[in-house]
Structure 1
Amino acid sequence: MFLYTVRRLASLVPIVVVVMLITFTLGYFGPIDPVRAVLGEEWEDETRYAEVKKALGLDRPFLIQFLDYMGAMFGGNWGQSLSAFGGAASDRAVGEGRGAGFSGTSTGVREMVVGRLGITAQLSFWALVFLATFAILLGVLAAVKQNTAIDYTIVTSSIIASSIPAYVIGPVLLIIFVLKIPVFKTVGGWDGMFSRQAILPAIVLAFGPMLVIVRQTRAGIVEVLGKDFVRTARAKGMPERLVVARHMLRTAMIPVLTSMGLITSGLLTGSLFVEQIFNIPGIGKLAIQTLLSGDHAVFMGVVLFQSLIIVTVNLLTDLLYGGLDPRVTYS
């Protein structure tokens, strides 16, 4: 187990480097010029443009910029946002010399990403609670009522719900429960994970992976329905709900829990549409804002952080699966 974990951790390094190279390349050759984003209307002044470009270190060759960027990231310096480098800030960058734009008074990329990630994590938590309760219960009910109208209704409804994109179901729920029936607060901002404001976006976020949990739970329960230990528990007079909870569900939850790990990384990194629809200042909304504004430093930080989340959660999921199922061995 230890050697397997070490090898997996070592394999994360080239993955992170490739992600950094791809995101840096997209930012370097992207359609939005960060210097123009900094200068605003002053970008037409060629002298001024050249000064700021040199001060921000953007006049150097691609490879030199990437190596500097990679070294800084591995050293824990994720850089600074360019959003505050207009006007007087760009004057300071010019006065301080090459690369000063990445060490000035603007907000640090790591602080921005981690701060926004906290909001997305709160939203994802409630989405997981929704999946762990309703989706699993629906899967159990569908399995217990196998090949009945209830089973067909649950499976069909789950397929339909998971097929509707977030950018469709989100506005529909907004219209119904905010405008027509004002049950929830008007969207915008974030009042905390325990506010009613978090309910609707969490439900929308959970719609996508709901089918996976329902079907895996149903399949796991159906698989153990005819096992000897289940028949023995029933023969002893154990109530059906205890048979399901103590024997069937416990065995069937192994693949479900591993899927929940992968879903967790998906929720943390795939909340872009939901945050945009509900105007939640999470990491997904930050990615859109920085991409459109040409703030490449922050955008690359967001993508890198999300990549780290995905590979880390995948590693933890593999290790968790081995801990839950003693039949799995690592070599």
Structure 2
Amino acid sequence: MTKYIVRRIFQMFLALFVISVLTFILMRAIPGGPWSREKKLPERTIALLNERYNLDAPIVEQYLSYMANISLPRLTDNELRRSTTEDYLVNIYIPGVDKTLRWGNFGPIYQSRSRTVNDIFRENFPVSAQLGVAALAVAIVIGIPAGIIAALNRNSRWDYVSMGIALLGVSVPVIVSGPILRYYFGVNLRVLPVSGWGTWQHIVMPAFALGFTSSALIARLTRASLLQVLHEDYIRTARAKGLSERVVIGLHALKNALIPVVTVLGPLFAGLVTGSFVTELIFDIPGLGRFYIDSIRNRDYAVIMGTTLLYAAIVIAANLVVDIIYAWLDPRIQYS
């Protein structure tokens, strides 16, 4: 297991390296630049801006400089003043030497003189993460019970209703369900706020809109897995011993039936966090997704690179954690 984890971590960094190279090249291949959406600027001003942000250097030099800023730790004096080029994501104070180990300078936001990419990570990513956690909770609370009910009442009215709702969840994207929820509960009934963030009321509609589709996936997977487990020999043995149906289902069947569900929760959560752009736009949520979309529109290279690497790291790390949990839940799984 240890060798497997070490190998996967190495593969994770290799994947992040490939993603960083491709993103760095592709975003500069798109016509336009960080200053093309501004009002017409003099050529001299554009040249000075490119020089200030090192955009006039060869692309290889730009890439190496950027990766050095985000990956190489630096030991600095504690009195070093914070600026747009000296803002680090991680700051570890070292007692006794009056030094601070700083790591993770993702650079400035070209369209803002006072904020950096690290600022939006600190301020806006937690909002997207909270939305992702809430949406995952909605998906689990709806999906697992629906799948269990459908499996235990196979080919019955409950099965058809549960799977019908699951099919509806898969078929209706957030771009459709979001405005419907916003109009009905926010505008018509006025029981929930239609936009903003900060209270639990703000979370309800976007979390349900984002999590409902995922609940359909969990419901279908839970149903299929439980039906398969119910036909295993050890389930027949448990019933033959005279155990009640509740004990057979609760203690024996569900434990193994939910293992496939657990394996998708990590990637599902990563998908909910990284795929919340539309939800954040519909409900006017100050999450990271909105800045990501704006950065692509404005050709803000630092925000595009930083956000892409952050989202890629979340997805890769989620898959690694799920693989480890899977091996812990099912000792029969062996990794070489």
TM-score (normalizing by structure 2): 0.85
| 1:77 maps to 2:105 | yes
Distance 1:48 1:218 in 2: 62
Unaligned runs of 5+ in 1: 86-105
| 1:191 maps to 2:198 | yes
| 1:244 maps to 2:249 | yes
Alignment deviations for residues 143-180 of structure 1 (CA, whole Å, 9 cap, x no partner): 00011122122112211211111111111111111111
8 Å Cα contact 2:140/2:215 also seen in 1: no
Distance 1:35 1:322 in 2: 50
| 1:64 maps to 2:61 | yes
Q: CA deviation at 1:229?
A: 4.1
Aligned to 1:102: none
Structure 2: which amino acid aligns with 1:81? I
Structure 2: which amino acid aligns with 1:78? F
| 1:270 maps to 2:267 | no
Alignment deviations for residues 8-38 of structure 1 (CA, whole Å, 9 cap, x no partner): 111122211111112212332333421345x
Which residue of 145, 152, 156 maps to 2:153?
Answer: 145
Distance 1:140 1:304 in 2: 37
Which residue of 134, 152, 158 maps to 1:126?
Answer: 134
Aligned to 1:96: none
Structure 2: which amino acid aligns with 1:321? Y
Q: CA deviation at 1:242?
A: 3.8
Alignment deviations for residues 278-305 of structure 1 (CA, whole Å, 9 cap, x no partner): 1111121121122223322112111110
8 Å Cα contact 1:113/1:298 also seen in 2: no
Structure 2: which amino acid aligns with 1:51? L
Looking at secondary structure, tell me which structure has more helix per residue: 1
Aligned to 2:88: none
Alignment deviations for residues 241-299 of structure 1 (CA, whole Å, 9 cap, x no partner): 44322222111011100111110111111111111111111121121122223322112
8 Å Cα contact 1:35/1:53 also seen in 2: no
Distance 1:13 1:129 in 2: 30
Distance 2:8 2:180 in 1: 43
Unaligned runs of 5+ in 2: 73-103
Alignment deviations for residues 31-60 of structure 1 (CA, whole Å, 9 cap, x no partner): 3421345xx43x432222222222221111
Structure 2: which amino acid aligns with 1:27? M
8 Å Cα contact 1:142/1:154 also seen in 2: yes
Distance 2:28 2:232 in 1: 59
3-state secondary structure, aligned to 2:334 = coil
Distance 2:132 2:17 in 1: 27
3-state secondary structure, aligned to 1:34 = coil
8 Å Cα contact 1:79/1:297 also seen in 2: yes
3-state secondary structure, aligned to 2:305 = helix
8 Å Cα contact 1:225/1:248 also seen in 2: yes
Which residue of 166, 187, 192 maps to 1:158?
Answer: 166
Q: CA deviation at 1:312?
A: 0.6
3-state secondary structure, aligned to 1:120 = helix
Which residue of 292, 296, 311 maps to 2:316?
Answer: 311
Distance 1:51 1:260 in 2: 48
Structure 1: which amino acid aligns with 2:49? V
TM-score (normalizing by structure 1): 0.86
3-state secondary structure, aligned to 1:35 = coil
Aligned to 1:88: none
Aligned to 1:31: 31
Matched residue pairs, number? 305
| 1:11 maps to 2:11 | yes
Q: CA deviation at 1:239?
A: 4.6
Structure 1: which amino acid aligns with 2:120? M
3-state secondary structure, aligned to 1:44 = coil
Q: Relative to 1, partners in 2 of residues 1:141 and 1:303: Cα closer, same or farther, differing over 3 Å?
A: same
8 Å Cα contact 2:218/2:261 also seen in 1: yes
Structure 2: which amino acid aligns with 1:230? I
RMSD value, Cα: 1.8
- Identity rate, percent: 35
Which residue of 215, 223, 244 maps to 2:220?
Answer: 215
Distance 1:115 1:47 in 2: 34
8 Å Cα contact 1:32/1:293 also seen in 2: no
